[in-house]
Structure 1
Amino acid sequence: MRILMVEDDAALARSIAALLRAGGHAVDHSASGEEALGLVSAEPYALLILDVGLPDIDGFTVLERLRRRGEKVPVLMLTARDALDDRVRGLDLGADDYLRKPFDPAELEARVRALGRRRGGDPVPVVTIGALTLNRSSGAAEVAGRALDLRRREWAVLDALATRAGQVVPRELLLAEVFGYDEPVGPNAIEVHVTRLRGKLGADGPQIRTVRGVGYMIDAR
């Protein structure tokens, strides 16, 4: 997923970003509520991880403004506060989940996966397309019982295509979901990952078709 993390604690932000990137996600970071509001308008984020305590406007205000303008991006709020009233306020303003600091990294990862599935309209973590099985919770993928050894971005591209099986996924959308805005992206980055995926899926796996001038589509059969 493409995730925006809004957190003003630089050390914590680096730690969360490293954790999520290791899990195959593209992560952008902002330490400002106002900047985050602009980024959500400009980028197709699948999830917003939002700290309550920010230096300019607090996370509650960010959330309220997002929902008022119709933004439906799932929001996971982080807070060091333990007050029940704060948790209730966040949920009432439109937060999808709440996690109190300090938290266990495994719990954060599990909540991120759950919110990602909810956004896709499918709470089931396993996607099956022909002989391909993609477990979005464990990060495992196999074809006809053969485990696939996928790099982080290969997984991200395959996940983006598999969850839209039978649909043409524009190249620009793949770039936006797989890479963060501050990551260097070569002109043929997506093509390289697709080529590697085709080799790893082999003859038993579903075919990834190129739709010239548009993007890619994975066979839904």
Structure 2
Amino acid sequence: MKEEEYDSSEDADFQLEESILSSEEEEEEIIENLHQTNLEVISDQQREEVNDIWKQLSGLGQKAIVNTDQGNFKVAENSVKSEAIKTETVPAKDRVNDDKTITISRTYEFAGETIKEEKTVLIDSEEAKAHLNSTKLKETSKVSKPLGRKRKRPSLIDAVISNSNQTKLSTLEKSRLDWASYVDKNKISDELKYKNRDGYLEKQAFLTRVDEKSRKK
């Protein structure tokens, strides 16, 4: 029986294969270690990012709280101011403003129609004077009327009259207010005063002449 010859080439191939396998295992181990290291690095970064985001959110939350508190304070302050303004407001239809003007509010019936007007004019204007004079005359007429006996149960006619109680403006008064507005708009008040003064002087001179003639006779 012949002895098998030892083949060194097979042994070399086996050693080469083992070395390749071992190198592959080492490479896999290195890759795994690198992967774990990367994971740890990424997790640290994520932690930092989470911490930064948390800090930002916390800061925004505090700012929001401060702004909210300030907003509430401003709202409260504005409400106090508005209440003060309401209490100081004069409950009148005609408001006298700080810039020497007056706001005139009128609701009246003219030519079968209900007319509402609101305008702001100078307090020393002809229209303001005419309106204030007409208002004073109406208040005086109301005071001069005797107080009637109050009825316990108002009739249907009284209810209709009270519901339709509007300021009735006569044609003469409406014309006078329109003329005053025209005078203010065209700025002819001084010119009219000058001409009226001349007419007054001429009238006085005429009356003086008539008086002298009557005395001579």
TM-score (norm 2): 0.18
Q: Which has the higher helix share?
A: 2
Q: Which has the higher strand share?
A: 1
Which structure's relative contact order is higher, taking Cα pairs within 8 Å and 6+ residues apart?
1
